[in-house]
Amino acid sequence: CVPEDVKDEEELKRLALDAEVFLGWKASEDLIIHAEHLRVFINPGAGVQHLMPMFRSLAEQDKQPILCNGHGNAYFTAQHTVAILLGITNFVVRHHDLLRSGVWRTGDAEGASIALRKKRIGLLGYGAVNRRVHQFLSGFDLDFLVCKRTKSDHLEGVDRCYAIHELHQFLKATDILIIAVPSTEATKGLIDLEALRLLGKEGVLVNVGRGDVIIQEDLYTALKEELIDRAALDVWYDYKAPEDEEGKRYPYDAVHFPFHELDNVVLSPHRAASPFSDLERWSEVVENIARCALREYPFLNEVDIELGY
């Protein structure tokens, strides 16, 4: 970490000379190479896809420090996942907007709630976030299915676990799909139109992983044509989208895929990790800095550069 007023690369290099730990979301490859004593680069968030090209390049040069990602936001992301899930299953936003406009007691005519009882929750990915989601939802009288890279025979509270090559079987068995996987070469475009059709016309989808896990056009089509029932989305496709003629910004192709015009989706602006002011979220970071100082290995949440997470 460096003071906010330090912007000059040469000054950064001077400060980095004796650094053993870098903490932050990004740094230049030259800066990392220049930090001769660097042992570990700690990315405080879970997403490290933006760092993969640089760290693979460093690995080829045999100059690669250990990369760690942070799971400190897992509790908050899981909490937000449950919130937007209930928001879409109970049409909270729609009824809120109706009452704000003075429309009182429309009942089920403007959106009936989905009873969660006995539904099959499909957890795509079973890392820190979805394990928390599983914990939080366990009081709702649900069945839990898990699909992850490798099958596990015994996961407590899980009715069935699928390996990723069994994705289509998993989706057929799922009523409510909750996606919490990273963006890697293996997951980009994993959920396409065929996969969404398998989820079915009564299917509900929540994505708090990465937007590009689902093909944008296919997701919009599935919602527009009601191939699935509804969705809640906290992750998107274009975070640098320019403002339109009215000064509005949408993190997706709003011309061809205007998600904001659909009635069966809750839109969330990638804020599941809030609040950042909670000090407990930094415990893993502090632990990794301590391990570096004490030369205690391995670090928490070391990233496999080949796999990308």
Residue-wise pLDDT tens digits, 143-192? 999 999 999 888 999 999 999 999 999 999 999 999 999 999 999 999 99
Supply φ then ψ for residue 144, to 5 degrees. Answer: -120, 130
Distance of CA 89 to the CA centre of its chain: 20
Mean pLDDT computed over 231-258 = 96
Mean pLDDT computed over 220-226 = 98
- Show the tokens assigned to 65: 């420090």
pLDDT in the model for residue 2: 52
Adjacent-strand bridge partners of 134: none
pLDDT in the model for residue 7: 61
pLDDT of 3 > 80? The answer is no
Mean pLDDT computed over 244-272 = 96
| 20-29, 123-132, 289-298: least confident range | 20-29
Using DSSP bridges, classify how beta strands 265-267 and 230-233 pair: parallel, antiparallel or unpaired: parallel
pLDDT in the model for residue 63: 84
Residue-wise pLDDT tens digits, 50-65? 999 999 999 998 888 9
Going by the DSSP 8-state scheme, the letter that residue 147 receives in this structure is E
pLDDT in the model for residue 4: 54
pLDDT in the model for residue 47: 86
Compute the distance between CA of residue 198 and CA of residue 51 in angstroms, rounded to an integer.
34
pLDDT in the model for residue 9: 76
pLDDT in the model for residue 154: 87
Which string of DSSP letters, residue by residue, matches 160-201? EEEEGGGHHHHHHH-SEEEE-----TTTTT-B-HHHHHHH-T
Tell me which residue has tokens 């969404």: 196
**Please, what is the average pLDDT of the chain?**
94
Consecutive H or E run containing 4:
none
Mean pLDDT computed over 242-267 = 96
pLDDT of 258 > 80? The answer is yes
- Structure pTM? 0.93
- Show the tokens assigned to 187: 């997951």
Percent share of the chain, pLDDT over 70: 98
The type of residue at 107 is G
Consecutive H or E run containing 146:
strand 143-148
pLDDT in the model for residue 73: 93
Mean pLDDT computed over 192-205 = 98
pLDDT of 14 > 90? The answer is no
pLDDT in the model for residue 5: 56
| 30-34, 155-159, 206-210, 213-217: least confident range | 30-34
Nearest-CA neighbor of 205 among 227, 182, 183, 238? 227
Mean pLDDT computed over 67-73 = 93
pLDDT of 8 > 80? The answer is no
pLDDT in the model for residue 275: 92
pLDDT of 84 > 60? The answer is yes
Compute the distance between CA of residue 37 and CA of residue 20 in angstroms, rounded to an integer.
5
Instruction: Give the pLDDT band of residue 11 (cuts 50, 70, 90).
Output: confident
Mean pLDDT computed over 66-80 = 95
pLDDT of 99 > 70? The answer is yes
CA atoms within 13 A on the CB side of 297: 7
